[in-house]
Amino acid sequence: MQITSPAFKRNAHAALGDAELQKALGNVRSGFIDKRLKAVEALPEFDRLRDSARAIKNHALDNLDLYLEAYEEKVRDAGGHVHWAETAADARRIVLDICRAAGAKTVTKGKSMITEEIALNGFLEENGIRPVETDLGEYIIQLRGEHPSHIIAPAVHLTKDQVEADFRRVHGHLPADRDLSEHEALLYEARRVLRPAYFDADVGITGANFLVAETGTSIIVTNEGNGDLTQILPKVHVVVASIEKIVPTLEDAAQILRVLARSATGQEMSVYTTLSTGPRRPGDPDGPEQYHVVLIDNGRSAMLGTEFQDMLRCIRCGACMNHCPVYHAVGGHAYGWVYPGPMGAVLTPSLIGVDKGGHLPNASTFCGRCESVCPMKIPLPKMMRHWREREFERGLNPAVQRSGLKLWAFFARRPRLYGAVTGLVAPLLSAFGRRKGRFTKLPLAGGWTEFRDLPAPQGRTFMQQVARDRRAR
Amino acid sequence: MTGRDAILAKVRQSLGAGDDPARRQAVAERLKAAPQGVIPARGQLPRAERVALFRSMAEKLLASVERVAGYDEVPGRVAAYLRERNLPASVRMGADARLEAMPWAEQKTLELRRGASDGDDAVGVSHAGGGIAETGTLLLTSGPDNPTSINFLTDHHIVVVNAADIEGDLESALAKVRDRYGKGAMPRTVNLISGPSRSGDIEQKLILGAHGPRALHILVVDDQADG
Ligand code: SF4
């Protein structure tokens, strides 16, 4: 996909003026936050599970080479194939080779951010293979030629009316006078249209939420069941996963599963958690005849041993963006590449380079909510600051700081955006305040001063200092 | 250098990890011992309460649940489920011995279709390997006994679970799989199913029946023999 991260400010500006987008983003503000809070409050052990999950991932990352070796051996034992891809280009070629060997014309796909990262769909199309996204949200954005705007809710930037218009445009074989006014009608239409694709496909491609070294198992977590149909019905199942998805044991996967769905959608468990190990067994009446795993590095190994290693604990739950005032105001596309929100602001410069992604760490109000909700306790604001320090050391400082400052000033001076930001933060803080008994009334009555004086977990940032100095002048 | 060796070399270099026997040992031990982490207290209950928790959690997930006094009652309950919903008198079912042993012949008009689903089955019947009380989750394993396609291609999925197989927590249920298939081995697929299929992808509005079953009906069998 075309990277537009360097144009974040322009993107953000356009997003703020997009009425349809602003209407759709209201669903993020109202939906995810309450559901997560309810789920968290219903599980007294939640915070201990976060610590447990963090410790598991830290251990796995510190020993990643050994767990990768153990995992590979187990996949082989189960009759599967493991392929190693250093770069996105390697990964694309490996997947294409598997598809070609299977004589594939159509491949179905379960939702997977890593295949967005390696830009797999366009590459398959160029090579005469039709990829069909089967997750409802992914299907919708594929019809529109767009990319996901959220890592777990890819079409969250769209309204129902937009989806209806797309279905009428693309599903031309269906009666023009059909009633698509309800959400249900749209869902069932997609279900009907997609059902035959699962049977037509020669290869099914899924991602993985976890790779279990103990058993050589890949795990996907979904609600729709499309990922399962994608991997059961075609004769070849390809799992595309980055190397940091490894966990040692089934017990370890279970620990992290407990924080994943709760943080993502506020569910106790997603509807389908599926553990896949190798191809179908003798006597099995269904399941794929071949099972391939494409293990992708694409920049991860270079993050190990650095101040960005913590980012590799990320389980792609989306909580950080669900609670991010900047994401709420501008949506995911403004970030200009695959990963939006706070996790994207940290990950994007790591994966595509500071020259292209270096703006994003400034797209923050440093309110600290992302870190406070991150199930893996990833210090996101701290890492955004690391990026800026790196810029300083690289001597790129003046220009980048200037543009960073401009970016910040951009947010601070837009009354509408400011309203969006405070509109989110106030109820959030009041929710936290209720729990901790620290706030008696909503803060944020006035301007930035009140906002800044809220207890900020990360303390006062450099950017905030600069901003204050400027204002004082 | 192959991609594999290059990636492993880069990982080792970044971690500053040489061939350290202590690391190897720590990894081998963790893989062997599979230590347990934090287990929520919620599911750690005596059997009767555990089964009741399973039921209430599954109902919260919008599954429907019936308690059944014995396996012999299952075919009658399945037939009644179909009748109440005006569904065709036909179910898809695998070769699970516990399902096979049930008195299906008593349901004279009920057609049993065997093997994997072909995508044209309104109703499928499976026997779960277990249940997980803490979240109301079912655990099903692939194979001829309970083909995985039945879990996803049917509109109504009826799952039989023995009350004795309902564990308090996810770890205990997975440990049972490990016991059954051997340490480090797994069936091709383990499906953990928590309610019927759903999507919230259009404006975050939750709708059931996205790609998988629109309805999940659970028959919890209190098999006396397992007391
Ligand atoms: S950074 Fe944390 S909150 Fe954000 S997606 Fe990753 S795990 Fe979730």
- pLDDT digit string, tens, across residues A129-160: 999 999 999 999 999 999 999 999 998 999 99
Using CA coordinates, name the residue in chain B closest to A141: B201
> Is B122 found in the same domain as B22?
no
pLDDT at residue A468 in the model: 47
From the list B135, B187, B203, which residue is nearest A268 (CB)? Answer: B135
Question: For ligand 1, atom 7, which residue shows the shortest CA distance?
Answer: A314
Note down the domain range covering B29. 1-33
> Is B210 found in the same domain as B115?
yes
Shortest alpha-carbon distance between residue B186 and chain A (Å): 6
Cβ distance B186 to A66 less than 8 Å, yes or no, reads: no
User: Which range (A116-120, A425-429, B174-178) has the least confidence?
Assistant: A425-429
Question: For ligand 1, atom 3, which residue shows the shortest CA distance?
Answer: A374
pLDDT at residue A361 in the model: 83
- Mean of per-residue pLDDT scores for chain A: 85
- A79 and B CB contact within 8 Å: no
Torsion of CA A121, A124, A129, A133, to 10 degrees: -10
Question: For ligand 1, atom 6, which residue shows the shortest CA distance?
Answer: A314
- Does A389 have pLDDT greater than 70? yes
Greater confidence, A403 or A323?
A: A323
* ipTM confidence score: 0.96
From the list B10, B117, B211, which residue is nearest A297 (CB)? Answer: B10
A378 within ligand 1 shell (Cβ under 6 A): yes
pLDDT at residue B58 in the model: 98
Q: Which parts of A266-396 fold into alpha helices (H)? A: 300-303, 319-322, 325-330, 341-352, 354-357, 369-373, 380-393
With a CB-CB cutoff of 8 Å, which residues 348-377 of chain A face chain B?
none
- Does A395 have pLDDT greater than 80? no
- Does A261 have pLDDT greater than 50? yes
Greater confidence, A439 or B107?
A: B107
Distances in whole angstroms, Cα of residue B126 to Cα of each of A321, A376, B152: 39, 36, 11
Cβ distance B174 to A250 less than 8 Å, yes or no, reads: yes
User: CATH no. for residue B193?
Assistant: 3.40.50.10420
For an interface test with B, give the residue of A286, A304, A321 to mutate (most B CBs within 10 A). Answer: A286
- A187 and B CB contact within 8 Å: yes
Euclidean distance between CA atoms A189 and A442, whole angstroms: 44
Euclidean distance between CA atoms A339 and A242, whole angstroms: 14
Euclidean distance between CA atoms A262 and A122, whole angstroms: 33
Cβ distance A304 to B11 less than 8 Å, yes or no, reads: yes
Of A426, A472, A428, whose CA–CA distance to A451 is shortest?
A426
Q: Residue holding tokens 């797994």?
A: B186
> Is B6 found in the same domain as B104?
no
Euclidean distance between CA atoms A46 and A27, whole angstroms: 25
Q: Which parts of A102-182 fold into alpha helices (H)? A: 113-117, 120-126, 136-144, 160-170
Segments of A156-309 assigned E as strands: 203-206, 210-212, 217-222, 236-242, 246-247, 272-276, 290-296
Task: Report yes or no on B163 lying in a domain.
Answer: yes
> Is B150 found in the same domain as B56?
yes
User: Which range (A347-361, A413-427, B61-75, B91-105) has the least confidence?
Assistant: A413-427
Contacts of A297 in chain B (CB under 8 A): 7, 10
> Is B121 found in the same domain as B53?
yes
Domain ranges across chain A? 32-154+195-296, 320-393, 399-472
Instruction: Decide: A380 and A374 in contact? Cβ < 8 Å.
Output: yes
Cβ distance A214 to B40 less than 8 Å, yes or no, reads: no
> Is B188 found in the same domain as B128?
yes
> Is B100 found in the same domain as B20?
no
Cα of A33 to ligand 1 centre, how many Å?
Answer: 14
| Tokens coding A198 | 């699962």
Contacts of B131 in chain A (CB under 8 A): none
Cα of A67 to ligand 1 centre, how many Å?
Answer: 22
- Tell me the pLDDT tens digit for each residue of A37-80: 999 999 999 999 999 999 999 999 999 999 999 999 999 999 99
Cα of A151 to ligand 1 centre, how many Å?
Answer: 10
Task: Report yes or no on B16 lying in a domain.
Answer: yes
> Is B58 found in the same domain as B23?
no
- Does A29 have pLDDT greater than 50? yes
pLDDT at residue A426 in the model: 41
Q: Which residues of chain B have pLDDT under 70?
A: 224-227
Cβ distance B3 to A86 less than 8 Å, yes or no, reads: yes
Write out the CATH class of domain A32-154+195-296: alpha beta
Q: Which pTM does this prediction carry? A: 0.89
Total number of domains in chain B: 2
Beta bridge mates, A123: none
> Is B191 found in the same domain as B121?
yes
Cβ distance A286 to B4 less than 8 Å, yes or no, reads: no
Cβ distance B143 to A295 less than 8 Å, yes or no, reads: no
Torsion of CA A288, A294, A295, A300, to 10 degrees: -130
- Does A371 have pLDDT greater than 80? yes
Using CA coordinates, name the residue in chain A closest to B214: A224
Instruction: Decide: B128 and B63 in contact? Cβ < 8 Å.
Output: no
> Is B26 found in the same domain as B83?
no
> Is B142 found in the same domain as B50?
yes
A331 confidence band (pLDDT: 50, 70, 90)? very high
- In percent, the amount of chain A with pLDDT more than 90 equals 70
- Tell me the pLDDT tens digit for each residue of A155-175: 899 999 999 999 999 999 999
